[in-house]
Each structure stands twice: as structure tokens, then as C-alpha cells.
A and B are shown apart, each in its own frame.
Chain A
């Protein structure tokens, strides 16, 4: 698979249904399975602190009863054929994904359309799910990594939607009523601007016809699209939060600041910069100094979220409590270097080669293919994105890397969250 043989305008079938759903289809004859992904414009972005977790709760309810099948009947049908179907709610969108044998695709489509368009939100299932979600929140409260993430998000974003938990809080989930859940579903779930991606071993025409037959008649006159979350102020100065969990064995650090949206013109520059800083090889420059040279941590890496909203750039590491400051200072040192020094040509070439060379690996399975073609539509990257990708990565210069670092990183305007056996702060 060279760049020109990657999925592109010739091989990805794109079709917009009358009701506003964009369908992308990729025919992959090499496996006996079909993967499906759907994105609905219903997200947590409209929630408040009081009803945080609503989009997630609503999505989790969809497989718990429809006009045609009960919870037990849905899972008996799916599990009897080894098919996987899941629904989930995210920051800007909610959606589903499935993976099944080709022979069971019709059944999977039937379960998905029932769950998506005709859910019944049974009261007893709401209570059952509520208890599971609350148990999950308790488990997270005992998880140092997740506690650091929450403390970081709250401190970095404040009242902005990214400052709230998508999964909600004990009080918000405990208080969520059926009426509220059904209202959210009625207002936000609908075909307008929905995306469906399919990759699998059936002729593209046939897959399109099946999708059109099943989803084509869905309507919701009242659908409100979730708005994109607003821009966010960058933090000024160092903000530090500690969550004290005295019985834990080591501390988890998350530091960073709000980052670019996926739609930012220099997003790939920022993304490649992050590859150099905290991904390439054994977790980039941050892994090199924190793990390889100083032996402070098992993991130390960085990540750029880059979704529909201003998701964060973060670095994270798990270290002994007495090494927290040393690890933070090492990461800040690497940030400064990234912002001031031009990356050497060879180091840049390594990361460029890694980013372009690893592409065939992510296109190997139907799940991988469907992830990518759905993202191409969600982020409006263009059907020829994969074919242009290599050239776009190769054209990034050391100056552009430094410029992205200067724009999106900071060693001094930074939010630092630590949880574990440390003093509360």
C-alpha cells in the first residue's frame, strides 16, 4: 500500500442521504467481518455542572430497551452471534460502533436502528445503570491517574465545558431523572449532520443500500445540533493542584494547557511537534529524560487531543512521591527546549518517517479503516487526506515545529495536577 493506494476518492464511497446522514463506505474483501461507526451531534458540551454526565447516561441507555426488543433480547441476539455493539456519549458527539461477521450484519443493523431511533428508556434499567455509573465514579475516585486528569481539567478549563467531567459526578448522576434523559435524547439525537462509516467484506453498493434502507427514513424535526465549545483563555502563571491519596504507592502527574482544535491550520505541525516531544520511540524526548536517563518513571509521555473543541496538550508521568518535582522540572525543561531550539533535521526526519511509515499498520483491520474514514468526514479532512498525508507531514520544517511549540506550549503558563501520596494543595 503506497500513498496512492491508500483509501481515497476512488475507493471511499461517500453518499449523503436525504435526511442529512453522510455515509462513507470502504470495501475491504480481505476479512470476513464488517465494522460500522456512527456519529450523532449530541454531546456533553451543553451540560452544566448540575447535570454533568447526561449525554453519557443517555447513550448508555440506548441498548437497554427498544420498542422491539428488551435489554435481555438485545444482548441475547447480539451475543448469540458474537457481534459487538456499543454506544457512548462524548464531549461533542455521541455514537455507536459495531464489529461482526458479514453474515450477521443485517441483525446488527436492526439492533442499532432500533436502539438509535426507538429506545424506550425503561425506568428499572435507568436505576440499574445509575448504580453501575455510581460504582464507576467511586472506582475513579480511587484511581490516581484519573484523579489527576480531573484535577487538571478543572484547573485548566474552569467553567468552560472542558472543565467538567463527561462521565459526571456523584451528585449529578444520582439526581438525573428519566424525564431529563429522554428530553436530551429527543432534542439532540437525529440524522442531521450524522456520519456513518462502514468498512467490510461486502460490495460497496450493497452496504450502501442496506444503510440507506435502514437509516434513510429516520427524522427528528426538533433536532438541535450540539454547538462546538467556545475558545478558552490560556492559563497564566503556574497553577498547581494536589489531590491527596495517602494510601497510594506512587503519584501521577498531569500537566499541560488547552491546545488547538483539529481544524486549526497548523494542527499537523503541533501534532508532529508532540510526536517529537513525547511519543517517538520510547515516549519521545520526555520519555528519554524522565525514564531512560533518570529512571524516574515507568511511563512519561505527552499527548495532543485535537478534537472538535480546544482539547488539551498534556504530559503525564507516574513517579515516586519524592520525585514529583524532579519529574515536573524535567518536563518543563523539555518544553522550553522545544520552544526555543530548532529541532535537528535528523530528529525531525525520524518523526516524519515514523508518522508516514506507520500509516499502513492503522489501515490493516476493518476497525482501523472505519475509524479513519469516519474521522476524515468528522474533521472535514477531504477524501484524499490519506493520499496527501505523507506530503503534508514531509513538508513540515524545523521552523514550523518551533512555531507550533511557541504557540501551543508553555513552561511557565501551565496547569500541573498531581494525585497520590502527596500533601493536598
Chain B
């Protein structure tokens, strides 16, 4: 990695994070808005994601199709993603063309049109996106589970939004969301790649400096109360395969317990040691795998910890092996969690998780766009990009007692929601399917 990050704040409040990397003539530019599905209210769930789609429809200077062509014909890729805590836009381009990305993002921060007929055309696209998710058992279970786990906090609903809201929201709802949250004060600009920092900062200042500041997105006041006991949801749906998830309420990414939780997930389930996005690779030497998969109860088992602003969920999931029941899988997982309490994570297991962290950190940073995503996510979630840069130091300070303490505190039945996806009984067992991939 060529340099560290330079952080600057423009006078209008926009945060700018720049990092030079010169191994390839490529640069990534991102704009992160500190708004996501956690800022949505019933009736307008899914508005952040829908606005993200509308941001590709154009401004008076750059109609949507023109933006698309301008980026692509320079060999660039662009896209966007909406998550619980943020909405982010990115372009990865040959570095001598990255100015185009800077200009497009500055323009659409302010001038996106959202024509009524385009909002209507996009409504069916988004309903189709939701239907695509609804075809998948994992989504159906995840949606029910999360809404059961959060009765009050807006993490309750999925990023895509509820179908009822996707039918009833209007162009004005979308435009109001855009005006309220899309301005420099609420934005983080990230550039990583083959450029000169002083030059990049000057270009960003001249393009974004003149844009009017706005009010930061309001803090969330609907705090989720303490969970008084285990919750359970069952989803019945098509197919022959059953799925199980234990989802424990855990603190957000900036909390002091988060590094210990990351290492607990790595040591117990073989999940990512970094506690960031992306998995930890194979997990076949983990306790979880040995308890559920090697015993031939499950076809796969995974642990997943997601970095968020507010307390969210640590999930342990398993796919029941053909011929096995969810009750059997659940009993085995319960027994393995009891064993974890009786036989806590060892020094050797911790050392392994830390070595994995180092490998994962270097691999995650290999690509310019990967760096930009991690730096931006760190800033958007914790308010400090160094959360990514210093993760290895933070993990190195975790002691075995810390891991056992967070296990005892969070991995308790009263703190979890258990989800079952149970196939409907009347499904024919018709197995003739395959996704043929290329060579």
C-alpha cells in the first residue's frame, strides 16, 4: 500500500478521504451519503434504495443514458449500493479519466430530476427486484427474522422496503428524501488510486466547495429496548431444503466489544476475523463446521457479523442436510454453544484468527476499489476511516478473557431470535436443476 489516507473537511462540511495507490493506472471515486434504511419510517420503507435507482436517471446537463455512456466508453464501471446505514455511489475508471466521475457525482448530488414517468417506470423495476429476492428462501427467512428481532428500531425492515410502501410511495416522497439527505454536509467523498493527493483535493474543492451545505441526517431516536426473551419465527415456503438461523443482538462496529466479537466469530465459526464485509474464506476447521457439517447434520454452516452504526445481529446459520430435521440441527448447535461456554476459545484458536486477520486485511486491500469501499464504510459507520486502517492493532489487543466475556454476555438464548425456514409439505421433490457456468 503506497500511502496512508489524507482526511480533509471542506467548508460546507463534506468529508474527503484520499489515498494514493500507484500499482495500476486506475482510480476509484465514491460518494457516501450518511443515510440508509435505518433513517426510513413506515410508509416510506425502501425510499433510500429507490432514490439510489433514480440517481441514475439524469440531470438537466447529463441525461441518464448519457451518463451511462460517458462512463462506459472510458472503460469505467459505475454502480451504487444502499445499506442499513448508508447509500454509496462509485466509479472505477482509468485514472486519467477519473475527473468525469468527480463531475458526474457533483452534478447529481444537486440536480437529479426524478421525472414522474421515470419514477413510475422504476417502480416496476424495484418490485421486480423484490420479487427476485422473494424467490429465495434465505431472503424470506432473513426478512421475517430481522423484523422479529427489531420491534422498535428501523433495522426492522429490509433495505428493499415493504411491498405495500413500494406500491404507495410517490415521486414527492422520493424527491423529499433526496433533498433532505443529499448535500455535502452529509457526504463523504473517497478517492483511491493513481493520482496526486494535492491535485485531487484541489479538483474536489473546486467542484464540491460551491455546493450549499445542509442539515445532517437526524439521529435515530427509536432505540430498540432490551430483549426480554428468546423470539422464534417460522417461515414456510417452497423447496425441499430447510434453513436455520440463530441471530443474537450485538453492539455496533464502534463499540469496544466489537473486536472481541469479530474474533469470537472467527474462532468459533471461521467467519471473517476483520468483522468487515466479506467472508473469511473456508471454515472447515472451525468448531461450528465440525459440530454441524462433519457430523452430517448440515450441508453448510456459517457465522456472520455485520458492522453497523447501531446494535445489530450476529448470525449463525446452517442449511439442513437432506434427510435431517431442523430440530436435530438446532439441538446440535445448542450443544456446541454449551461446549463453547464450558471450553472457551483457546490461545491457539486466537492466534489462528489473528493470522487469518492479517491475510484477510492484505487481500481485502489488494484492489483499489476494495480499499475505497473499506475506507468509506469505516468512515460512514464509525465516523473514523481509521477503523479500517487500524483493525489489526485493535484485534491484537483482544484477550481470551474478552472473547469469553462477550460470549457470555451476548450469546444467550434470551438475546436471540431463532429462525426456521421449513419447506411446505406438499412440494414435489423434483430435482433437475443446474446452473451451468463457463469452463
Please report A residues at the B interface, Cβ cutoff 8 Å: 1, 30-33, 71-72, 75-76, 78-84, 86, 90-93, 99-101, 104, 127-128, 131-132, 134-147, 149-150, 153, 162, 165-167, 169-170, 245, 247-250, 252, 280-282, 288, 291-299, 305-308, 311, 318-320, 349-351, 353-361, 363-366, 378, 420
Contact = CB atoms under 8 A, between A and B. Distances in A.
B232 interface: no
Contacts of B159: none
Contacts of B127: 320
B135 A144 contact: yes
A249 B68 contact: no
Interface in B237-285: 237-241, 270, 273, 280-285
A305 B362 contact: no
Given A84-B281, A135-B321, A143 B433 contact: yes
B75 interface: yes
A82 B281 contact: yes
B218 interface: no
A137 B319 CA distance: 13
Interface in B414-433: 424, 427, 429-433
A82 B438 contact: no
A307 B436 contact: no
Most buried by B among A72, A93, A137, A311: A137
B123 interface: yes
B132 A81 contact: no
Interface of B: 23-26, 56, 64-65, 68-69, 71-77, 92, 94, 97, 120-132, 134-137, 237-241, 270, 273, 280-286, 290, 293-294, 296, 299-300, 319-323, 352, 355-360, 362-363, 366-368, 424, 427, 429-439
B128 A318 contact: yes
B283 A79 contact: yes
Contacts, number: 261
Given A298-B125, A349-B73, A420-B135, A308 B359 contact: no
A82 B132 contact: no
Interchain residue pairs A-B with the least CB separation, the first 8: A357-B75, A82-B359, A142-B239, A165-B434, A30-B23, A135-B299, A307-B439, A250-B131
B322 A80 contact: no
A135 B322 contact: yes
B435 A298 contact: no
Nearest to A99: B363
Contact of A137 (B26, B270, B427, B433): B433
B367 A280 contact: no
Given A79-B270, A80-B352, A139-B241, A281 B72 contact: yes
B355 A150 contact: no
A291 B424 CA distance: 33
A334 to B, nearest CB: 16
Contacts of A139: 239, 241, 319
Contact of A1 (B25, B124, B433): B25
A406 to B, nearest CB: 24
A259 to B, nearest CB: 11
A358 B77 contact: yes
B366 to A, nearest CB: 5
16 contacts: A99-B363, A135-B322, A138-B240, A142-B238, A150-B432, A153-B436, A162-B436, A248-B135, A249-B130, A249-B135, A298-B128, A318-B132, A320-B127, A350-B72, A353-B75, A358-B75
B6 to A, nearest CB: 21
A378 B438 CA distance: 13
A107 to B, nearest CB: 12
Contacts of B294: 128
Contact of A128 (B56, B137, B296): B296
Nearest to A164: B434
Given A248-B135, A250-B132, A319-B128, A361 B26 contact: yes
A366 B365 CA distance: 12
A355 B72 CA distance: 9
Nearest to A165: B434
B355 A81 contact: yes
A289 to B, nearest CB: 12
A354 B124 contact: no
Contacts of B125: 291, 295-298
B126 A79 contact: no
A84 B137 CA distance: 28
A266 to B, nearest CB: 19
B285 A72 contact: yes
A78 B358 CA distance: 14
A391 to B, nearest CB: 16
A75 B284 contact: yes
Contact of B435 (A32, A138, A146, A351): A146
A293 B122 CA distance: 9
Most buried by A among B135, B433, B435: B433
B125 to A, nearest CB: 5
B163 to A, nearest CB: 10
Given A136-B299, A146-B435, A165-B436, A81 B359 contact: yes
B203 to A, nearest CB: 21
B281 A142 contact: no
A145 B359 contact: no
A351 B285 CA distance: 46
Contacts of A33: 362-363, 366
A293 B322 contact: no
Nearest to B426: A247
Contacts of B129: 298
Given A93-B439, A282-B68, A297-B125, 12 more contacts: A33-B362, A82-B273, A83-B281, A128-B294, A132-B299, A138-B431, A143-B136, A143-B435, A144-B135, A282-B56, A361-B77, A364-B367
B282 A149 contact: no
A295 B75 contact: no
B75 A356 contact: yes
A246 B127 CA distance: 18
